[in-house]
Amino acid sequence: MGGMTYVDLETRAAPVTVGIGPLSFDDVLAVARHDAPVVLSPEAEAEISRSRKVVEDLADDVKPHYGVSTGFGALATRHIPVDRRAQLQRSLIRSHAAGAGPAVEREVVRALMLLRLSTLATGRTGVRLETARAYAAVLSSGITPLVHEYGSLGCSGDLAPLAHCALVVMGEGTVVDADGTLMDARLALEQKGIEPVQLREKEGLALINGTDGMLGMLVLAIDDLRSLLKLADVAAAMSVEGLLGTDDVFAADLHELRPQRGQALSAANIRAVMANSPLRESHRTDDCTRVQDAYSLRCAPQVHGGARDTIEHAARVAEAELASAIDNPVVTKDGRVESNGNFHGAPVAYVLDFLAIVAADVASMAERRTDRFLDKARNQDLPAFLAHDPGVDSGLMIAQYTQAAMVSELKRLAAPASVDSIPSSAMQEDHVSMGWSAARKLRKAVDALGRVLSIELVTAARGLQLRAPLEPGPASQAVIRALADLTDVTPGPDRVLAETLGAAYLGVLDGSYVTAAESVTGPLR
């Protein structure tokens, strides 16, 4: 749920070491979201130097080697004379820096550059040490290349986005400095004391042939969704409590009958939030005529749990990709330079699409709980639309419209990008993954899910307060206080609702609602 945010470089995270082994999720988040500087490990520098010698030994070989002495893509059969090979690399980057549309978020660009550097550090790409060091220097300086929304098909690497980054390392193109100001790349490098790189054999290709953009966005989305699934459990628990639902269906032994791990974790979270609720206890009597709650209340652990399990599957794919060295051709450990298809983004594209599906479904269920609160026929004797004076006041009526609009958009965003393919490069690249597109729409889906959940929280908070003098449980009370720190959520005459909802969303972004619940429940899972 990040975006174009800028941080004080004096207080940023500790440096991240990029070595020959895989980066962790925490490493990616530290660099992308907290502007941590990066350093290459001595082992990585040694491996980079070793593999570079392999490429240099091929430079004068009469036998053609893709990316060293040939053109690219459909032009791979063209032999390039020795005296034009440096121009070949520069031309590759300039021609592939063909992005269009709005600027991509700073955190995405930083993740992309870090992941490309991580592959360079494996020694499988054959770049020079000074080129890898230049990437580390740009990341550490706070300079961010201007990368555009469109330009990657998720195959042969995220070509245009990575090319815009490589262009900056060459001292060309446009960057965004640490304060968010657009400026010329050469001037920005000069101000930071970074020497532009003059690319040599194979280096241009090595800088653009990876799944780094889509992978970076996958790691960021997984981090966001893990937090949002905790929040979804909190919101669901408050809705069940406020709608006089039962927590009996969340009992651990019932969920052991269906041993889905995520489902059990979600049910445990909901139980924890509803614990010790006077409001819940008020209708735990033989006089209660309700036999079963609606699915949006009763089945929250099944939906939230399925989403959790999908996120963890996506995390396993991301971990494998973080351990990968993706380039074409690649320098093997025994010194061969071999073509391959590891740049194809299909594994990453699929899980990006999976996550958009679960984001849509979790949001859809949250919207149904909100609607139930507002409907006089289903909200267990609360005012219509939770309004102060129904008819004069509309209460939260249009908040549900806003939710519905976002849920409808989420359903459109759930349509998979990875099933599409448009042939490119004169049919040489005749099947592509569209993984970058899957990642871009997932970012929109994550943002919308957070906003939908914030509206459910506002609704549940008002509904619970309208149950007075009965009180909700301590965890729900803590969340209501956290909401109240940001905006007025007390029942009363209508006020400008956009202001309330916008302020409430800030607590989603900073995690304060989950923190508030956990101050009572202990860590949620």
Q: Which residues are catalytic?
A: 66
Closest C-alpha to 68, from 135, 81, 344: 81
Distance from C-alpha of 356 to C-alpha of 311, rounded to nearest angstrom: 10
Q: What angle do CA 316, 319, 323 make, to 5 degrees?
A: 140
Task: Say if residues 326 and 395 touch (Cβ distance below 8 Å).
Answer: no
Q: Which two tokens stand for residue 374?
A: 């507002």
What is d(CA 515, CA 522) in angstroms, rounded to the nearest whole number? Answer: 9
C-alpha distances (whole Å) from 335 to each of 70, 124, 125, 145, 366 are 19, 9, 11, 33, 55
- Per residue, the 3-state secondary structure of 201-266, as one string, reads CCHHHHCCCCCHHHHHHHHHHHHHHHHHHHHHHHHHHHHHHHCCCCCHHHCHHHHHCCCCHHHHHH
DSSP state of 283: T
Residue type, 16: V
| 3-class SS of residue 274 | helix
Rounded Cα–Cα distance for residues 54 and 321 (Å): 25
DSSP codes joined into one string, 409-428 = HHHHHTS-STT----BTTTT
Q: What span, in angstroms and rounded, lies between the C-alpha atoms of 199 and 212?
A: 20
Contact 151, 99 (CB under 8 A): yes
Q: Rounded to 5 degrees, what angle do the CA atoms 109, 115, 117 make?
A: 105
Is residue 314 within 8 A of residue 222, CB to CB? The reply is: yes
Rounded distance between C-alpha atoms, residue 149 and residue 126, angstroms: 29
Q: Which amino acid is at 375?
A: D
The H-or-E segment that residue 167 falls in is helix 159-169
